[in-house]
Structure 1
Amino acid sequence: MADKPSRSLVLYGDGLARLVNPTLDHLHSFASRASCGFLSLPHAPSSETEDSRIAREFAKLLDAIEYNNMSVREVIEDKPPEKCAVLTISERFMGMKAAIITNNASLKSFGGKLGITMLQWDGLIDNEHTLADLQLLASELLKLLGFQEEKMLNTSQFDLIFVHVGADEKVMYLKDIELINGLVSELMHIAQPGTDIGSRLHTSVIMSYGAALEDDNSKFSVSDANQKNNFGVPQLYPRQSYTMKGGKPRADVRHHCPMLVSQWQNAVTRKDMVKFFSFRDFNENGGILTIPADRFLHEVAFKLWKAPKYGA
């Protein structure tokens, strides 16, 4: 825990986990110095559309999927709440100012109901920019978080910014996965250990698989339930914490295709043994292991001094 509140930048690769490859050196370098693990999700409804999936999974990250008995669909479609209004992010987390950069209409509507400021890509960069201009984009993002001239200002426009990339985003000048890889490179260069930015910027990189496929259960499973010993007898394991809530088992837990999450803040986050941003390496060497996706924002808020305790 830092001795002063931090600011947070979350790079969210929506549905891009399958596109991570060995050539993305900066993404792998980030994972090698970060704390890595998984964010578990519930099973998707059988009739879910891609647009609904995008909104539902983002709502999970915000722990807002069923806020005051209102579903994500009710919020997106602007249906009036029957009981009481949805609390905003600021109201839930001690005045935290949050923003998201996205072109997705569902996220714009849903995030707006939660008090999240919507930022447009074309407000930061134009369609002529290429990979070489990501330094400018990284600088603009840091300015919004109150970092200027390698220093952290006492006030900022935002405490937390989500950069939503992938799915149906239309950032045409650059492939989505290359955009995240390039941004990570610039951020690591700017937030060097020993600098004010390095000790105050909490950076998260999240990659999701999008819609789960038929063979994903065997390829990307975090469950130990099927492991057997040398005699072919199933081994007994205690119930994992990500399957529990309030001392009771969660009703709906998907054990495969979790989100991959890697977090780094110099001298604050722990470093594990991961070398590559991959499911296999996170599963074997990740320090975070698996936590429910709806705990993510709570733990980030703690780093920003916007939540009273870790994992609250």
Structure 2
Amino acid sequence: MADKPSRGLVLYGDGLAHLISPSHTNLHSLAARGVCGFLSLPHSPHAETEDERVVRELAQLLDSHDAYISNNGEHAPTVECQQTSLLPTISERFMGLRTALLATNASVKRFGRKLGFTVFQFDELTNYLNESPQDVIISEIFKLLGFQEGRILETSQFDLVLLHVGHGEKENELEWVNNLVGGIIQTAQPGSEVGSRLHVSIIMSYGAVSNDEDPNLSMLISQKGINSNLSLLIPRQSYTMKGGNLLNNIRHHCPMLIAQWQEAVTRKDMVETFSFKEFKEHGANLAMPADRFLHEVAFKLWKAPKYGA
């Protein structure tokens, strides 16, 4: 645990996980520096549109899914169906946490505003300058978090910045993300002021998937070779439980992949590449429900008590 509150940067690549290749070296480098695991999701509702999926999975990530469900328990067709009173802001829930959202998807931006995010468009930050868009955005994001010219300012405009990328918003999205991650790593080098106070989370999801199990992308731990008389003694994986109760709608395959890094704060596991196989075999975090993610990050920012062990 750091001796001062961190400032958080979350880069969420919606539907980009299946596109990651060996050429995306910066993503692999960050995964190898930090701690990796999975964020589990529920099964998709019947007849869900792609736009609904995008917002629903973001709502899961922000622990705001209950507010996205209509009063009769049906899946809400649009965010506008929700009563604002049912949507407590992130700041109200997490000790005044100040949050910013960068996105281009209209539904994502609309939902973010309802949760109290200050919402930016990517080109609002780049200001059409004749520089690399990644360099400009990284510089502006760090300013929002109170980092300027490699130093930490005493105060910052925001405690947490979330970038939402995906859903066909930019050409060559994953390459753009990979370059952005490279700039983040370079700026937050070990020994730097930024590195000691910046908590980075890189999340990649698979987007729309069927509810049929994919054995190659399943989080379930194999019990092959375990004596059947002993199988009942094996505890359930924590992502299948909440409040001591078994969750009955967990999608065990195609979870979100998450890598987190803060120099000298997050532990380092044995993961070498940003991939499902590596995270399952060598990741230290295994899996937790996606709706617990924000609680974990808020703890690093001194805005929430510790969740879990």
* TM-score, scaled to structure 2: 0.92
Q: Shift of the alpha carbon at 1:67?
A: 3.1
Give 1:229's aligned residue. 225
Give 2:107's aligned residue. 106
Whether the 8 Å contact between 1:90 and 1:97 is mirrored in structure 2 is: yes
Please identify, of 229-238 and 242-251, the stretch whose mean Cα deviation from structure 2 is larger. Answer: 229-238
Give 1:40's aligned residue. 40
**Equivalent residue for 1:261, pick from 258, 262, 284:** 258
Partner Cα separation in structure 2 for residue 213 and residue 9 of structure 1? 30
Partner Cα separation in structure 2 for residue 231 and residue 5 of structure 1? 47
Letter in 2 for 1:152: I
Give 2:195's aligned residue. 198
Task: Note if 1:136 corresponds to 2:139.
Answer: no
Give 1:73's aligned residue. 76
CA RMSD of aligned residues (A): 2.4
Flag structure 2 segments of 5+ consecutive residues without an equivalent. none
Identity %: 55
Q: Shift of the alpha carbon at 1:308?
A: 2.5
Whether the 8 Å contact between 1:12 and 1:163 is mirrored in structure 2 is: yes
Partner Cα separation in structure 2 for residue 152 and residue 128 of structure 1? 24
Letter in 2 for 1:95: G
Please identify, of 207-216 and 228-237, the stretch whose mean Cα deviation from structure 2 is larger. Answer: 228-237
Give 1:302's aligned residue. 299
Q: Shift of the alpha carbon at 1:158?
A: 1.0
Flag structure 1 segments of 5+ consecutive residues without an equivalent. none
Which digits, 9 at most, give the CA deviation of each residue in 1:79-115, with x for residues without a partner? 436xx44210000001111111111111111111110
Q: Shift of the alpha carbon at 1:214?
A: 6.8
Letter in 2 for 1:307: A
Whether the 8 Å contact between 1:205 and 1:263 is mirrored in structure 2 is: yes
Give 1:188's aligned residue. 185
Q: Shift of the alpha carbon at 1:215?
A: 6.5
Whether the 8 Å contact between 1:228 and 1:235 is mirrored in structure 2 is: no
Partner Cα separation in structure 1 for residue 270 and residue 130 of structure 2? 36
Whether the 8 Å contact between 2:211 and 2:251 is mirrored in structure 1 is: no
Letter in 1 for 2:51: D
Whether the 8 Å contact between 1:227 and 1:235 is mirrored in structure 2 is: yes
Q: Shift of the alpha carbon at 1:311?
A: 4.6
Q: Secondary structure at the match of 2:277?
A: helix
Q: Shift of the alpha carbon at 1:228?
A: 1.8
Q: Shift of the alpha carbon at 1:129?
A: 6.6
Q: Shift of the alpha carbon at 1:149?
A: 2.0
> Cα gap change, 1:53/1:74 in structure 2, threshold over 3 Å: closer, same or farther?
closer
Partner Cα separation in structure 2 for residue 209 and residue 253 of structure 1? 15
Which digits, 9 at most, give the CA deviation of each residue in 1:175-226, with x for residues without a partner? 11011111111111110111110010000100000011476521200012x5
Letter in 2 for 1:257: C
Letter in 2 for 1:303: K
Which digits, 9 at most, give the CA deviation of each residue in 1:124-177, with x for residues without a partner? 2267878x44222211110111101211112111111111111131x34xx110
Q: Shift of the alpha carbon at 1:250?
A: 1.3
Aligned residues: 305
Which digits, 9 at most, give the CA deviation of each residue in 1:233-254, with x for residues without a partner? 9955321111101111113111
Task: Note if 1:9 corresponds to 2:6.
Answer: no
